[in-house]
Chains A and B, each alone.
Chain A
Amino acid sequence: MILSSIILQACGDKMKVIEVKNLVKDFGGRRVLDGISFEVEEGEVFGYLGPNGAGKTTTLRIILGLLNPTSGEAMVMGKNLAEDDEARKKIGVVLENDGLYEGLSAFDNLEYYAQLYDVSNRKEKIEDLLRFVGLYGRNEKVGFFSKGMIRKLAIARAIINDPEVLFLDEPSAGLDPEAQRMVRNLILELSKEGKTVFLNSHDLDEVQRICDRIAILQRGKIMVCDAVKSLRRKFSGPRVIISTSDNKSAGRAFEILNPLDFVSNCEIDGKKISLMLKENKQSSLLRKLSENGVEIEEIRKVEVTLEDIYFKMQKEEEK
């Protein structure tokens, strides 16, 4: 692994840490995953997005060896985690549950997992990790911790074995904004250390902030898999927000703009219209509105967000 990594880096090519090929999973005659394929390179933060029930957790469980695929394969560092116990020493996971025992202290929780992963210099390593997540000196049982503290400890638990790949399933779910930011920063720090991160999420803002590449899953199929920057370029027609004088004008503007060929994702919200321009046709847009006597207070371009892309993909899928 180390040698091949050095050779690949010398060639300017990155190693494929996760490889998923034509993954199909059926549950009781229902197809949950339908030919999923993607790769994650070494050091990447990869976001796996999709609405509830799209098949995100099923994919993750197959990669982790918790479920068997109906067909296809999922490899992590060239190994099938379902069959290779030793290969699991190189991964860290934070699943829906934090995997922590409420009746034990933070130290005892980490020590237990450290022993299961055969970690050497346990005491030193655990103390360092507790300092890293800001829980050093907290000797009470984990049951008394806040949600944010528990999630921080879960991340410390997941990296106790210094894993090469980290799998995170909705790491910020149920946390307050401050704790969410803290978790995000932790992931970014781990990414800086060169860890590969697979992030299962439906928090588009979080994914946009920390992921290098994303895949969007819809009804068991991957709709798009690309770098966040590249996706923004692809969907580069600017998003435009038009503020009108009143709700009536906004309604009129919507009726005029929505059918236009170069307009997509047109939405109305009170006095405001939000839309995406397929080409740079802002002047045509303004002309159409003035010809129809719609009063405009403000018009401004905003950068396309992952949310815009996500909903656009969803709408296209529904069509």
Chain B
Amino acid sequence: MRKEFIIAKKEIMEILQNKSSLLFTVGYSVFFSVMAALGVKKFPETIDTAVFYIPLVMGIFFAYVSTGRIFFREKRDKIIETLLCTPVSLRKLWFGKVLGAAIPSYAIAIFSAFLIALISSILLKSIIFPSLILVLHLLVTIPLFVLAAVGLIGFLYLLAGMKEVRIAGTVIFMTIFGALFGGLGLIGEGYRISLLIEIALMMTSLLLVVLTGYLTRYLSKERIVTTIT
């Protein structure tokens, strides 16, 4: 198995074994999905908007939470120093951890989408099928956004000092959120879903992923080790 996948597998295993954290994550996702579905019951035309935004928000939010757990904790506890002595390159280590945080976050996003659709179908007494834009959104845009969020926050956690790191992570998270909804507000009309919005989002997420990949060249073991304390 490739080293990146070994690292990702371990991170996912740890997330799954942490029952309280898992319960909190699932509970949070269920709560918002149920709330969204109740809204859909009142205004059935908002189903696309709910499936479009709630899973995206869930995905990015859990990307932020799990990245903190994976990157910040390892740096704070100095485990990262031991990992840097293993025969795994820094980029592989970073990417493995990004995958380890991104996969569960994406799973939560998809779970939310499924839950909204399921509960809405039950409440409206008719089966809801997603539109092509939504399928594209769920299968391409959300995973790219989650990957970019995890990558950027993870990169920052490794780069910044321990004092700045928490604030910096929150700043990145808020910036992504602000840019996302601010930008959508400018493009769309009252957050209505359209192919234009979907393409704009997809291109932005792709750009963020490329930017994140580019930024990792500024990571160095020395930088990580000297910012631990």
Contacts and interface: CB of A to CB of B under 8 A. Distances in A.
Interface of A: 27, 61, 64-68, 81-82, 85-89, 91, 93, 95-101, 103-104, 108, 112-113, 115-118
Nearest to A113: B86
Contact of B87 (A66, A85, A100, A101): A85
A86 B3 CA distance: 13
Interface residues of B, number: 25
Contacts of B13: 104, 108
Nearest to A100: B79
Nearest to B224: A66
Determine chain A's interface SS by DSSP, over half rule.
loop
Contacts of A61: 225
Interface in B55-109: 77-79, 81-89
A88 B14 contact: no
A95 B79 CA distance: 9
Interface in B109-163: none
Contact of A116 (B6, B18, B222): B6
B87 A86 contact: yes
Contacts of A87: 87
15 contacts: A66-B84, A66-B225, A81-B85, A88-B87, A89-B87, A93-B82, A96-B81, A99-B79, A101-B10, A104-B17, A108-B13, A112-B10, A116-B7, A116-B87, A116-B88
Contact of A65 (B82, B221, B226): B221
Given A61-B225, A66-B222, A103-B14, A91 B85 contact: yes
Nearest to A92: B85
Contact of A95 (B14, B81, B89): B81
Contacts of B18: 103
Interface of B: 1, 3, 6-7, 10, 13-14, 17-18, 77-79, 81-89, 221-222, 225-226
Contacts of A95: 78, 81-82, 85
A82 B85 CA distance: 9
Nearest to A101: B14
Given A89-B87, A103-B17, A116-B87, A67 B79 contact: no
A127 B157 CA distance: 35
Contacts of B84: 66
A130 B10 CA distance: 20
A165 to B, nearest CB: 11
A104 to B, nearest CB: 7
Given A66-B84, A88-B86, 16 more contacts: A66-B222, A67-B221, A88-B85, A88-B87, A95-B82, A98-B82, A99-B82, A100-B79, A104-B13, A108-B13, A113-B86, A116-B6, A116-B83, A116-B86, A116-B87, A116-B88
A93 B80 CA distance: 12
Contacts of A103: 14, 17-18
B190 to A, nearest CB: 44
A23 to B, nearest CB: 15
A98 to B, nearest CB: 8
A117 B82 CA distance: 13
A5 to B, nearest CB: 21
A204 to B, nearest CB: 25
B14 A104 contact: yes
Contacts of A86: 87
B222 A99 contact: no
